[in-house]
Amino acid sequence: MPDTRIPRVLVLGATGRVGAAVVRELEATHAGVAPVRAARSAATVQRWIDEGKEAVHLDLDDPDTFPAALEGIDRLFLVTGYTSAMNHQTKTLVDAAEDAGVGFLVHLGVFSDKRSTDPHFAWHELVERYIAGSTVAWANIHPHVFMENLLGINRLREGRMVWPMGDKQVGWIAGDDIAAVAARVLAEGPDRHAGQDYYLSADLLNGAEVAEVLTAALGRAVPAVVLTPDELQHMIDAGLDATPAGMDAAYAASTLVWARQVYEGRFDYAAVTTSTVEDLLGRDPVRLGAWAAAHRQELLDQLS
């Protein structure tokens, strides 16, 4: 008798921007799968259950929580925190997923060439090599710079767009597009997507160009402060700038390595846009101007 059970999709990071958006996409547009939220907070899990949603307790730093969380799970969306702990977390979680019989794993990675020397890019590449060596079917999603970073690590400083990479451009992608692609891949499953790497980049812009887009979208002048990585480091050393509070120190150091390598041209291979959103979703990706308009108040709060 054929298996008519709806695949259950465990979504890690369901309290974060991307994970929560993936759950919303699955619920809104993919009735053929059942999303299951995961969180490390027992109170959050209980609240979801009280609301009639499927939810499980999973703490990436505690492998003992994995077997129960993965019981009956068919597909897994893997997103980890931005720390070197992602290596231990993913190794133990992939092992548990194999043991639990999970059939398909979708990993949220970075826009790398699989030969990175930047630490946090290398961490993701290690993760992907380990996943590929497992018996679980997999797909990787490789977003370029999140537009949402303009509300966080790349937030406006004193109303200015600070860009420590000279005139170098990078790709930008909206979180909603990342989530929509991830949800489509998870819903359609391994028969269509196993072994695929999906790269996401909608706009190719440097700091001055981002400032121009924000100025037009907000109707307020957003000047660009264009620096070199050395100049940014001098500002940090002098206490004139700082990484966001709570950011893992190793990851923070890695972002400066990335900025330097972009400035030096070592990421020129990534100075591209891709058609992934159009190919998988049949629509145009969200451009930075539209994203800024949708997040207008959050950005304006940075100008006040």
Structural domain includes residue 163:
no
- Output DSSP code: residue 37: E
pLDDT tens profile 70-81: 999 999 999 988
| Confidence at 3, pLDDT banded by 50, 70, 90 | low
The average confidence (pLDDT) of the chain is: 94
Per-residue pLDDT, 244: 67
Structural domain includes residue 248:
no
Per-residue pLDDT, 4: 63
Structural domain includes residue 52:
yes
Per-residue pLDDT, 303: 86
> Has residue 2 got a pLDDT over 50?
no
How are strands ordered across the β-sheet holding 196-200?
55-57, 34-39, 8-11, 75-78, 104-108, 137-143, 196-200
Per-residue pLDDT, 194: 98
> Has residue 84 got a pLDDT over 80?
yes
Cα separation, 210 vs 288, in Å, equals 8
**Mean per-residue pLDDT for 180-198?**
98
**Mean per-residue pLDDT for 279-287?**
98
Per-residue pLDDT, 103: 98
What amino acid is encoded at 80 in this protein? T
Structural domain includes residue 228:
no
Per DSSP (E only), the strands in the chain are: 8-11, 34-39, 55-57, 75-78, 104-108, 137-143, 145-146, 161-163, 170-173, 196-200, 203-205, 224-226
> Has residue 241 got a pLDDT over 90?
no
The sign one gets for the Cα dihedral 41, 44, 49, 55 is negative
pTM tops 0.85: yes
Q: What is the CATH number of the domain that holds 26?
A: 3.40.50.720
Q: How many domains does the chain have?
A: 1
Structural domain includes residue 246:
no
Which of 48, 44, 143, 133 minimizes the C-alpha distance to 97? 133
Asked if residue 37 lies in contact with residue 53, where contact means CB atoms within 8 angstroms, the answer is yes
| Confidence at 10, pLDDT banded by 50, 70, 90 | very high
pLDDT tens profile 216-237: 999 999 999 999 999 988 888 8
Per-residue pLDDT, 1: 42
Structural domain includes residue 95:
yes
Structural domain includes residue 257:
no
Range of the domain at 140: 8-147+171-202+271-285
Q: Which residue has the higher pLDDT, 268 or 304?
A: 268
Structural domain includes residue 302:
no
pLDDT tens profile 105-147: 999 999 999 999 999 999 999 999 999 999 999 999 999 999 9
pLDDT tens profile 144-162: 999 999 998 899 988 999 9
What is the percent of the chain where pLDDT is above 90?
Answer: 87
Residues in the chain: 304
